[in-house]
């Protein structure tokens, strides 16, 4: 062998006739592992006094790989090329008792005034690495950084109203239309102070954090649960006057002879005396009110959610007129290919789940 050939090469393999025969046999053996064949080629090229860059090119490897196997051959000969170096034993697994203690701590209150456990705080308490904590949390589906909100209804007629509305969804009356009605108020026409950059491979789109308010509008919407179409009107306010105007618009679009079952929340406008008087003059309308804190029962909320995500949240609107036009186009696109609203949970299943929740909370 020769020393100090190049800055990173400290050996120059000298291959004996016997070693050359063995190396050529390794290359010729079709049952030999390809990694062994590649190592044999590196040594044979090295014996021809080729420079490291040329050896790496001919062998299809990097220069550090060439240096590694030159050193291995110099230390252990051909046998060293045909076996991988043993590795240091890895860290022992975390004892089962420690895993259970970590899980129990995660499900308990954190120390001090912290609101939840963090990975680093848990790693410090348990004396393990952050990655160990993350692996245990992932294996046991623990996510202490997340929290879900809920709202319990205290309506004394909750079950009656629930069964009424779910019954309309799952078994709508014949010769009738079931409409989920609500308003999305205070929709802001927001204009960004600077134009953002579009999405590119490896880079997300950008949008300035500040904006200019150009006014607001209110969307009144009625979702036909039978065919999925939406009747919508944008208005400046959401008083009982505007609500009655919207009811007239719906009245014109629903074919004569159809009974209209309208599902609404408990907003005061829906129960205004003039609205009640309007209902008396239009006997084919029947109002069904959701329980208090039960907006999740109102199907039109899913439409409002999709509208917000797909058209409003990232939208740029120079005026209220632009905003209203965008909402109108969205409704038209939605009605071009609507999907019927499908409710899958019976009132019995919902009540059973709420009873189980109440037991677990006490």
At residue 1 the predicted structure's pLDDT band, cuts being 50, 70 and 90, is very low
Asked if residue 77 belongs to a domain, the reply is yes
Find the mean pLDDT for residues 116-134: 94
Structure tokens at 228: 């999925």
Q: What percent of the chain has pLDDT over 90?
A: 55
> Which of 31, 51, 81 lies at the terminal end of a domain, its last residue?
81
Q: What are the counts of helices (DSSP H) followed by strands (DSSP E) for the chain? A: 13, 5
Average pLDDT value over all residues in the chain = 89
Domain count, the chain: 3
The mean-pLDDT minimum among 44-53, 79-88, 282-291 falls in: 79-88
Handedness of CA 283, 299, 224, 329 (dihedral sign): positive
Find the mean pLDDT for residues 316-322: 93
pLDDT for the residue numbered 78: 87
pLDDT for the residue numbered 285: 96
**Helices assigned H by DSSP within the chain:** 17-28, 34-47, 52-59, 63-81, 96-106, 119-126, 130-139, 158-170, 240-253, 273-281, 300-307, 320-336, 347-361
Whether 168 and 307 map to the same domain: the answer is yes
Whether 162 and 253 map to the same domain: the answer is yes
At residue 5 the predicted structure's pLDDT band, cuts being 50, 70 and 90, is very low
Find the mean pLDDT for residues 152-168: 90
Whether 69 and 104 map to the same domain: the answer is no
Whether 239 and 124 map to the same domain: the answer is no
Whether 64 and 132 map to the same domain: the answer is no
Sequence-ordered list of residues with C-beta below 8 angstroms from that of 52, at least 6 positions apart, any chain: 6, 8, 9, 63, 66, 67
Asked if residue 60 belongs to a domain, the reply is yes
List the strands of the sheet with 285-289, edge to edge: 230-235, 211-224, 176-192, 259-264, 285-289
pLDDT in tens, 128-144: 999 999 999 999 999 99
- Which pTM does this prediction carry? 0.67
The mean-pLDDT minimum among 87-96, 102-111, 269-278 falls in: 87-96
DSSP letter at 271? G
Asked if residue 37 belongs to a domain, the reply is yes
pLDDT for the residue numbered 3: 43
pLDDT for the residue numbered 4: 40
Residue 311: which domain range?
158-198+207-357
Find the mean pLDDT for residues 275-295: 94
The mean-pLDDT minimum among 41-45, 219-223, 244-248 falls in: 41-45
pLDDT in tens, 199-233: 889 888 888 888 899 999 999 999 999 999 999 99
Q: Using the predicted structure, report yes or no on whether residue 258 has a pLDDT greater than 60.
A: yes
Asked if residue 9 belongs to a domain, the reply is no
pLDDT in tens, 62-106: 889 888 888 888 888 888 888 887 767 777 888 999 999 999 999
pLDDT for the residue numbered 236: 92
Which 3 state secondary structure label does DSSP give 235?
A: strand
Q: Are 232 and 334 in contact (CB under 8 A)?
A: no
Whether 181 and 270 map to the same domain: the answer is yes
Whether 113 and 187 map to the same domain: the answer is no
pLDDT for the residue numbered 194: 86
Whether 70 and 122 map to the same domain: the answer is no
Q: Using the predicted structure, report yes or no on whether residue 153 has a pLDDT greater than 80.
A: yes
120 phi and psi angles, rounded to 5 deg: -70, -40
Cα torsion 152, 154, 155, 157 to 10°: value is 90
Q: Are 51 and 59 in contact (CB under 8 A)?
A: no
Asked if residue 173 belongs to a domain, the reply is yes
At residue 329 the predicted structure's pLDDT band, cuts being 50, 70 and 90, is very high
What is the spatial distance between Cα 336 and Cα 344, in angstroms, rounded to a whole number?
A: 25
């Amino acid at each position: 062998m020769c020393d100090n050939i190049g800055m990173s090469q400290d050996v120059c393999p000298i291959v004996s006739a016997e070693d050359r025969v063995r190396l050529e046999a390794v290359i010729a053996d079709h049952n030999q592992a390809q990694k062994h064949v590649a190592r044999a080629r590196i040594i044979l090229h090295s014996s021809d006094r080729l420079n490291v860059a040329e050896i790496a090119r001919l062998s299809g490897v990097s220069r550090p790989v060439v240096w590694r196997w030159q050193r291995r051959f110099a230390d252990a000969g051909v046998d060293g090329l045909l076996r991988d170096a043993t590795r240091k034993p890895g860290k022992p697994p975390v004892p089962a008792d420690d895993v259970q203690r970590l899980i129990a701590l995660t499900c308990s209150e954190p120390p001090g005034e912290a609101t939840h456990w963090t990975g680093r705080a848990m790693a410090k308490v348990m004396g393990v690495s952050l990655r160990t904590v993350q692996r245990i949390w992932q294996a046991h589906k623990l996510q202490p950084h997340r929290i879900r909100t809920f709202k319990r209804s205290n309506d004394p007629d909750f079950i009656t109203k629930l069964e009424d509305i779910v019954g309309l969804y799952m078994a709508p009356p014949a010769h009738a239309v079931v409409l989920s009605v609500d308003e999305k108020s205070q929709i802001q026409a927001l204009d960004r102070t600077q134009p953002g950059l579009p999405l590119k491979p490896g880079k997300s789109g950008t949008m300035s954090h500040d904006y200019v308010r150009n006014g607001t509008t209110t969307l009144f919407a009625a979702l036909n649960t039978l065919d999925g179409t939406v009747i919508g009107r944008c208005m400046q306010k959401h008083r009982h006057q505007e609500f009655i105007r919207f009811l007239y618009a719906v009245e014109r679009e629903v074919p004569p002879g159809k009974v209209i079952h309208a599902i609404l929340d408990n907003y005061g406008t829906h129960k205004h005396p003039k609205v009640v008087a309007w209902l008396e003059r239009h006997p084919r309308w029947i109002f069904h009110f959701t329980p208090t804190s039960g907006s999740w029962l109102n199907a039109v909320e899913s439409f409002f959610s999709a509208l917000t995500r797909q058209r409003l949240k990232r939208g740029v609107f120079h005026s209220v007129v632009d905003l209203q036009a965008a909402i109108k186009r969205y409704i038209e696109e939605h009605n071009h290919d609507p999907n019927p609203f499908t409710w899958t949970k019976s009132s019995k299943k919902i009540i059973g789940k709420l009873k189980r929740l109440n037991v677990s909370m006490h």
